[in-house]
Chain A
């Protein structure tokens, strides 16, 4: 059975003059999928969204929405609704007029417009705001109206361009949940651009991590988090960030191990995709929560001594900064115990949860 694709991007490239912004992108978005485009500023994620929306003309490739080639279509004919970071509500129109603008342009009958606005207002709970102007709304209300404007268009695909970035932290997490709920309710395809990894990890069915106009990894959130395909994805995802130790592959009693200075960690439980050749320079990456701290050394080959540098309590847990073989790493621990600077402890690694990258290509091994 072939899965129905809602949005297909084939060999898409975009150049501004001689500057290449997007390079040969291929993405298939399944029907009803929530895809997040994640990356640092300037990685081309918003540009890609604008291309899908038809607000930017592409240089190469094709875009299909619901199996229809829309590469040359106007935005309004693509069956998309878009929500912008700055809300982009028409300031001189009331909320109701904002919602109905697109429908009035399309020449829909009045009763149909009324029906759709009522339905959208019901879903987003903006009924009491309909007669207000955007200036009289709070940030969260404005973004709801902006979502409503996409909703009334009754489209197949929703495009979100950093919709929560202008809101304060509390509102952001509230609306994040609402967007997720909305997706469950509507089961529309949604493509969502953000630079906030929490948003990406919580909302997405799949995340496309982008950098320099290229997709670095396109996977479900857990795979992205646990098995990053390269050093960039590993360092970009996760807060606090992943720890990295530079070293090389050694052979300890016949099995591959990671060695830096006089620390040696056995890699027998690490599931590798390629041969771990001895002497190869690698970067050993592990997340702060995948190490345990103890007062006694753990099993041989998985443990090493460390000196506490700093203790950062963060409420639910603490982040402890330590020195291992002269390098700073962080470990997430239960906040029940405080660590004093200079304290001597032992770390136990879990190689199964670690990531090993080639020091040269920076790709996962």
Chain B
């Protein structure tokens, strides 16, 4: 006896609804959040493209009637930062001079640190690591005065070298943590196999570990580039007036008390200063997420 099942009714793939209450909710929240963060950027870009007379009308949301790139040129070339009027480009190049060596130096040291701490455990290596990580939780301000004295005694206070050394030191805790966790997540057999093959500390690091570590290096570069580029405190204290980074110069432009406030120039200068980290995120966001996930799995 066979059961008499109806042939009508649902059959095959279940239809998907394009618009459901849940998706409406999700998209509206996302839309509101996006608008919330984009409006200030919109205002900045629009203002930077207007001339001063148009700004004085007070309609900050309206697009420029007459588009001018003059504020951008002024910001870059001739805006006054205190006594000098050479624009923010001086700061840009100073920041580059601080950024490139600091990023390279800190990442080289931290990657070797992380590698040694995960693969070449020595007596007290865990304690060493704990102390290093603890450094990440001490407020910078506490260490400023001692550091000023130390750098002064070393003769590097107020120099490019000084601020690079400071950035390298302060990058150590978080970068070492990042690299150590990444190297711990790599299969330990690889390390053992390389040792049986006779490779030593540096050869294993350079020929086995490094080629496998691109994602975590990308993360480290992004972290350091944004961190050091956005730094104000160390720059203003340790770099010396000649080497003030872009953030400090920007502050000097925006907060100058002489004459009329040129909002369009200020906006242009601010966007220029923020452009570097923004571009870094745009071009490496994919690697960033991947690397963070790779480094964060094991503790």
- Show the binding face of A for B, using Cβ within 8 Å: 50, 53-55, 74-76, 80-82, 84-92, 101-102, 105-106, 149, 153
Contacts and interface: CB of A to CB of B under 8 A. Distances in A.
Contact of A149 (B193, B195, B211, B212): B193
Given A50-B192, A84-B192, A85-B189, 6 more contacts: A55-B195, A75-B195, A76-B196, A87-B189, A88-B189, A90-B194
A90 B199 contact: no
B6 interface: no
B197 A149 contact: yes
A76 B197 CA distance: 6
A55 B212 contact: no
Contact of B192 (A55, A89, A149): A55
A76 B193 CA distance: 10
A84 B189 contact: yes
A90 B187 CA distance: 11
Given A88-B187, A91-B212, A105 B193 contact: no
Contact of B211 (A85, A89, A92, A153): A92
B211 A105 contact: no
B203 interface: yes
B139 interface: no
Given A55-B192, A86-B189, A101 B197 contact: yes
Contacts of B197: 76, 101-102, 105, 149, 153
Contact of A88 (B190, B198, B207, B211): B190
Contacts of A55: 192, 195-196
Interface in B134-179: none
A106 B197 CA distance: 8
Contacts of B280: none
B208 interface: yes
Interface in B235-279: none
B21 to A, nearest CB: 44
Contacts of B208: 90
6 contacts: A74-B195, A75-B198, A86-B187, A92-B212, A102-B197, A106-B198
A76 B192 contact: no
Chain A CB within 10 Å, residue with most, of B187, B189, B190, B196: B196
A149 B211 CA distance: 20
